[in-house]
Amino acid sequence: MDYFSLLKHHPSLFDNTNTVLQIISDEEIIEAWQNEHRSYLREQRLPENWADIGIVLDDPYLVVLRDLVKFRDGSLGGFSRLCHRAFLESGAHGVIILPEYQGKILLLHQYRHATRQWHYEVPRGFGEPQISLEENACKEIEEETGGTVSTLVSLGALHTNTSYDSMTTFLFYAELKTIGVPNEDEGIESFVWLTAQELEEWIANEKVTDGHTIAAYTRAKLKGLI
């Protein structure tokens, strides 16, 4: 994957219309800034790769870009952001699902590497190519819980962290027809079943700290589904 190929194939990611931070795409300007900034970093005994512009991490799931941007005062600087590989390669978006079964909301007790902690959270997953958002949501329910969906309602788009994550994720409310067992291979230890009131108490008492879960519940509640 090449940075300037992304410029060509994903122009919306580099759109400078109605923006405060203008992305610089001129290769000569980028190269000149990199050379100057590397000299500065070297003098300061700081890592010279902090001046790298382009793709700075190319992961099987995530791609980190560092763009050269022009700030309001006219100065130039590097600014990093996260992209999801599934979107860049196939336009697929991640999904977050709030599942309900027999009147109770399902949370997963799941271990997360990023925080090195156990969390209570709803099922979610990266985008899957060649399938719809709805199919992806049902697939995540099946993979993580062994369950099947009887009713699926879109709750709309979510931007999980606008400071560094460039992607749009989509929220769903699901009524489950069946439920299976936790997928231990994905770090899911057990299920927790809560009423809406109990979930609100867990959120208020900071037992639930996962932002995806809080967002999905809030959107479902405000839409009158819970």
Per-residue model confidence as pLDDT tens digits over 147-181:
999 999 999 999 999 999 999 999 999 999 999 99
- Residue 190's nearest CA partner among 200, 198, 179, 199 is 179
Q: Is the pLDDT of residue 204 over 80?
A: yes
Structure tokens at 3: 């940075």
User: What does pTM read for this prediction?
Assistant: 0.91
Q: What is the pLDDT of residue 128?
A: 84
DSSP letter at 117?
E
Mean pLDDT of 197-209: 98
For residues 119 and 131, is the Cβ–Cβ distance under 8 A? no
Give the mean pLDDT of the chain. 95
Q: What is the pLDDT of residue 212?
A: 97
Terminal Cα-to-Cα distance of the chain (whole angstroms): 43
Structure tokens at 12: 């919306």
d(CA 87, CA 56): 18
Residue range 57-79, pLDDT digits in tens: 999 999 999 999 999 999 999 99
Q: Is the pLDDT of residue 19 over 90?
A: yes
Say which CATH class 92-222 falls into.
alpha beta
DSSP letter at 48?
G
Residue with tokens 């009887």: 150
Q: Is the pLDDT of residue 215 over 90?
A: yes
Question: Would you tell me the crossing angle of helices 211-222 and 196-204 to the nearest 10 degrees?
Answer: 140
For a pLDDT cut of 70, what percent of the chain falls above it?
100
Rounded to 5 degrees, what are φ and ψ at 13? -70, -15
Domain boundaries, given as residue ranges, for the chain: 3-89, 92-222
pLDDT range class, residue 226, cuts 50, 70, 90: very high
Which range, of 10-14, 39-43, 201-205, averages the lowest pLDDT?
A: 10-14
Q: Is the pLDDT of residue 1 over 80?
A: no
Residue range 83-136, pLDDT digits in tens: 999 899 888 999 999 999 999 999 999 999 999 999 999 999 988 888 999 999
d(CA 35, CA 194): 56
pLDDT range class, residue 80, cuts 50, 70, 90: very high
Q: What is the pLDDT of residue 127?
A: 85
Which range, of 4-13, 23-32, 131-140, 200-209, averages the lowest pLDDT?
A: 4-13
Query: How many residues are there in the chain?
Result: 226
Q: What is the pLDDT of residue 53?
A: 97
- Residue 67's nearest CA partner among 124, 19, 134 is 19
Q: Is the pLDDT of residue 192 over 90?
A: yes
d(CA 69, CA 24): 6
> In angstroms, how far apart are the furthest CA atoms of the chain?
64
The pairing of strands 22-23 and 54-58 is unpaired
Report the SS3 class of residue 90.
Answer: helix
